[in-house]
Chains A and B, each alone.
Chain A
Amino acid sequence: MQEAYSISEVKGGLAYLLPELTLTAGILLIIIAGIIWHNKSRLWEISITLFVITVLMAGVLIVYDWPQNSIRLFFGFIQQTDFAAYFKLLVLTGCALTAGMSRKKSVEHPAEYFTLVLSVALGSTLFITSNHAVMFLLSLELISLPSYMLTALGRGKGGAEAGLKYFLFGSTVTAVMIFGWSLLYSATGTFDFTSSAFIDQLTQNAEPTAYLASALIIAGLLFKVSAVPFHLWAPDTYQAASAAIAAFFSTVPKLAGLAVLAKILLAFHLFGQSPVPFAAIVGVLSMASITLGNVGALRQKHAKRLMAYSSIAQAGFLLLALVPFDQSGLHALQFYSAVYLVMNFATFYVIGQFEHHQNVQTVEDFSGQAGASWALALVITTGLIALIGLPPTGGFMAKLFLFSSLWSSTSVSPTLRLVFLILGLLNTVVALFYYLKIPYYLFVKNRQNTPNRLPWELQGVLSVLLALALLVAFVLPGLLMGWINKTTFVL
């Protein structure tokens, strides 16, 4: 049904868009602040205050206006659901944690920096709710363009190179996706990819071009979540970026891309009527991501590069949650995403502090650094144990839910399911090998001189809180899972 194009529709929709409007206002205010104040230190304080207030307000608004049922806005451009709201909240948490990790000294242009991070946040929230090819592409660009700049911003020559690389990859992928959407438009006659018209058309007139188109679009999203085979940009980008931005890239755009991938895949899946075995394909991609990410990580010497490969492998685990194509799989995805956010940030927080104070770059630089701060050494160990998926951390529960939902799914043949299950879990053993490298150097390797003790600062307190959150997620996973269980996924 064609909705009436009326100004009242737009006005009515704005009420549901308050978090996004808040973010937009925040972006504008920080830009204005950047014009008014020139003293860097003062500008830093003002920008970060504005940033934190904006993100907190947007988060409160999302919780306050929690969508009880799915609402379509702006002629179907946007659809607010509780699934989307959950991911928006995760994205904003990621932004807040990024701000907590950023340092005055290492950020040269505070106003630009926070504007760009907030723009990615805005792009991500819109992307998660997008329901229409145009909205999809616009919000995707709103994530991508600031990301390129964030990579390069104030990071010297290496940053510029990584930013350019990322930009070239990213713009190619965008072009590919636009091509995909245009093919899909010619096949279905609509841009609204959750509408019944879209699904009916695809079901009835299944053409090879439509499959090609869906492959192109999925490829673009795989690029965003840095999954194999579109993962090559991640290691270079992470290594060149600051620890805060690397942590940001490995969570915020990834989780946004994942939420949309879940939606798109379900649309293409056509409720199981599609002749393309999407479940099996996603499963194979996920296995490839986990395995290549892990194998790649084995050889890494640079801490952030190692974490980039880790994030490729983790993308594989997150993709695995999409294989069941059912509610329980998506609940496992939601749980895993939240735990992933926390464990990744816990690890990056500690890497960032050691990088800043002790100039730790490679894994070997961690030798004997446990003496610098036992608390932080324990935090990073907790974070890495969670990334492996061992108890007593939320990472174990996340993997338990993930593999449980996979075991009880029916979307792929039992043999394939078993292969995914065994291969996925066996990869944990490989992961153990490289994840424990950092604690190994921290605790086991000795150094000649005792390291300077790290000062206690906000970052330290936040890292301890993140590690505690991981322990709580293990002992009381019901707190989060009970909430997730209330969300339903609708197209």
Chain B
Amino acid sequence: MPYLLSLLIFSPLAAVLLAGLLPSRKHQWFRMLALAVSIGQLLALIALFNSLSPNISLYYAEQARWLNISLGTWGVLQANYLVAVDGLSLPLVALSVVVLLIAVISSWHEQKNVKGYFMLLLTLNGAIIGSFCALDMLLFYVFFEFMLIPMYFLIGIWGGARREYASVKFLLYTLFGSILILIVFIGLYLGVGVVQFGQILHSFSVLDWQDAHYHMTGSWLTSSETYGGFTLKAWAFLFLLVGFGIKLPTVPFHTWLPDAHVEASTPISVILAALLLKVGGYGLARVVLPVFPAETIQFSGLVGGLGVVSIVYGGFNALASKDLKRLIAYSSVSHMGFVLLGLASGTTEGIAGAVYQMTSHGIITSMLFLIAGVLYDRTHDRLIDNYSGLSTVMPRYTALIMIAFFAGMGLPGFSGFIAEVLVLLGGFNPLSLVPVWLPALAASGLLLAAGYFAWTIQRMLYGPFVTKGFAGTLTDLTSRERFMLVSLAILTLWLGILPQGLLSLINPFAEGLSRLLSEHLVP
């Protein structure tokens, strides 16, 4: 099946057009349509995994001409519809398909403007999968930006009390980051020239960008002039770091995240935390490290340091959060710090751990936000202090909270453990690019996570059951909620107990990137 990726990307977008034609009264039709698309994507994904041929680096590559525009004296602009998956993107594509399916199920009882909601959700679906599949960076950027507007409306219309503030803040932060990315992308495609048929082709393909032979002599990519103490390449690296760092998010660019998460409705928080944050980490691993290996080495301390600051600062903030959703949001900041640290280490284990962490965090954080959503649906109250003794009235819910929180703590047996151990191993590796005290500090982040999760369990689940500050009855999980939480719990346990399958998929990518970085080490 050669067009599996296009099918994954465009089936939701085609469904948007179809949904546009359906009458808006028929709420059930839109739900069924979104569910059908997601199940179809899941089947396509299974087909994709079933026919993976080993020993190649890019699976299911598709290429078609998109833009080929003569730009006068300085060559030809070329951008292609180039999609493929590899050890970095395939886990994330799989994660997206699963999480988007969960999001559709979680949105089942959405009553407000159902047509618009599912049309935006489907648009977001296509954009997310597209941005993980695109190897042509103009295409990537288009999908990347295409996520913003649907997300803005999804937070702004279907969100909580302060949704308007949160949606605008989300949009401004992310657009600011993406502008920095665009500046560097323009520079990159103009600085990279592939000579073909006597013409200079300025390509947007990241495969061309990371090949130093194509960096044109005399362009900024080969010049060593410094501006403000840094070469232009170093500036480009920093721009991209900020751009993707906002998305990730890393401290100090994380302040949009707690607001957006708290105000968004449950399924939107799930998508935001599980998938949109991953685009930041994905961008770093896909573009920044391979295209700027020397700068990655130069700034590895900074990148790793930001990661560790995020781990610790996010952890302390989570500890201090009174709102359950805010706590989960800050735990995301903390967990995504491991991605930065793993990438900065430049070792195979570290990079593999970073990719593993992105996948694992996507599953765990989806569970966590669903858990917060379960309570909020029943009581419209998210304050941790208002609950106690939930274990007596909601035993099934308690069991799943336990699993999710233990997974969040990174206990052995859960996927987070594998990821964090790999990152720490990568950091402590003698070949690591980061000083050894950084992973040591990061390890203390694990303690913080244990602290805030365990404390929350103690406050909310144990003790006598009292109701204060909220109305509504606390009933145990419905079968719909149980289905979502149990399937995610199985996934995190599976990835925690049998990591080899996913790791063998990630490893070629991690090895390749690590080798590329080591080639640029000054002996």
A residues at B contact (CB < 8 Å): 326-328, 331, 385, 390-392, 396, 400-401, 403-405, 407-408, 415, 418, 421-422, 425-426, 428-429, 432-433, 436, 440, 443-444, 477-478, 481-482, 485
Q: How far is the CA of A385 from the CA of B186 in the complex (A)?
A: 20
Among A401, A405, A429, A478, which residue has its beta carbon within 8 angstroms of that of B175? A429
Kindly state the separation between the CA atoms of A405 and B186 in the bound complex, as whole angstroms: 10
Chain A hits for B69, CB < 8 A: 477-478, 481-482, 485
Q: How far is the CA of A408 from the CA of B188 in the complex (A)?
A: 11
Cα distance, A326 to B182, chains bound together (Å): 23
With beta carbons under 8 angstroms apart, the residue of A331, A425, A433, A440 that contacts B182 is: A425
Partner of B179, one of A426, A436, A482: A426
Q: Which residue of B lies closest to A330 (CB)?
A: B72
Contact A408 B74 (CB under 8 A): yes
A401–B157 alpha-carbon span in the complex (Å): 34
Q: B214 interface residue, CB < 8 Å from A?
A: no
Within the complex, the shortest CB–CB distance from B377 to chain A, in Å, comes to: 22
- B-chain residues with CB within 8 Å of residue A396 when the two chains form the complex: 142, 145
Chain B residues engaging chain A, CB cutoff 8 angstroms = 67-74, 77, 116, 138, 141-142, 145-146, 148-149, 152-153, 156-157, 164, 167-168, 171-172, 175-176, 179, 182-183, 186-187, 189-190, 227
C-alpha gap A421/B187 in the complex (Å): 10
Contact of A415 among B152, B176, B186, B227 (CB under 8 A): B227
B190–A391 CB distance below 8 A: no
Chain B contacts for A478, CB-based, 8 A: 67-69
**Is the CB–CB distance between B186 and A433 below 8 Å?**
no
Q: Distance (Å) between the CB of A474 and the closest chain B CB?
A: 8
22 sample A-B contacts, Cβ–Cβ < 8 Å, listed by A number: A326-B72, A327-B72, A328-B72, A328-B73, A385-B149, A390-B145, A391-B145, A396-B142, A400-B138, A405-B71, A407-B186, A408-B190, A421-B186, A428-B175, A429-B176, A433-B168, A440-B164, A440-B168, A443-B157, A477-B69, A485-B69, A485-B72
CA distance A328 to B72 in the complex (A): 6
Contact A328 B71 (CB under 8 A): yes
Contacts of A485 in B (CB 8 A): 69-70, 72
Residues of A within 8 A of B164 (CB): 440, 444
Q: Point out the residues of chain B lying under 8 angstroms from A392, CB to CB.
A: 142, 146
Q: Are B74 and A426 in contact (CB under 8 A)?
A: no
Kindly list chain B residues whose C-beta atoms are within 8 Å of the C-beta of A429: 172, 175-176, 179
Asked if A432 meets B73 with Cβ closer than 8 Å, knowing A391-B142, A407-B187, A425-B182, the reply is: no
* Nearest residue, chain A, Cβ from B176: A429
Q: Which residues of A are found within 8 Å of B182, using beta-carbon distances? A: 403, 425
Chain B residue, CB-CB nearest to A488: B72
Contact A400 B145 (CB under 8 A): no
Main secondary structure of the interface of A (DSSP, over half): helix
Q: A328-B71, A415-B227, A440-B164 are in contact. List 6 more A-B contacts (CB 8 A).
A: A326-B73, A408-B190, A436-B171, A443-B153, A482-B70, A485-B70
Asked if residues A391 and B146 are in contact (CB atoms below 8 Å), the reply is yes
Tell me how far the C-beta of B313 lies from the nearest C-beta in chain A, rounded to whole angstroms.
25
Q: Are A444 and B157 in contact (CB under 8 A)?
A: yes
How many angstroms between the C-alpha atoms of A444 and B72 in the bound complex?
44
Bound CA–CA A391/B130 (angstroms): 14
Contacts of A385 in B (CB 8 A): 149
Whether B156 pairs with A444 at a CB distance below 8 angstroms is yes
* Chain A residues whose CB sits within 8 angstroms of the CB of B142 once the complex forms: 391-392, 396
Residue of A nearest to B143 (CB): A391
Contacts of B116 in A (CB 8 A): 443
**CB closest residue in chain A, given B159:** A444
State the CA gap A405–B172 with chains docked (Å).
Answer: 26
Max count, chain A CB within 10 A of own CB: residue among B77, B145, B175, B189: B175
Q: Please name all residues of chain A whose beta carbon is closer than 8 Å to the beta carbon of B70 when the two chains form the complex.
A: 481-482, 485
Measured CB to CB, the closest approach of chain B to A445, in angstroms, equals: 9
When distances are taken between beta carbons in the complex, the residues of chain A under 8 Å from B167 are 444
A residues near B186, Cβ cutoff 8 Å: 400, 403-404, 407, 421
Across the interface, which residues of A come within 8 angstroms of B68, CB to CB?
A: 478
- Kindly provide the distance from the CB of A339 to the nearest chain B CB, expressed in whole angstroms: 14
A299: shortest Cβ distance to chain B, in Å? 16
Instruction: Look across to chain B and name the residue whose beta carbon is closest to the beta carbon of A482.
Output: B69
Chain B: minimal CB distance from A368 (Å): 11
Most buried by A among B71, B164, B171: B71
Q: Which residue of A lies closest to B202 (CB)?
A: A404
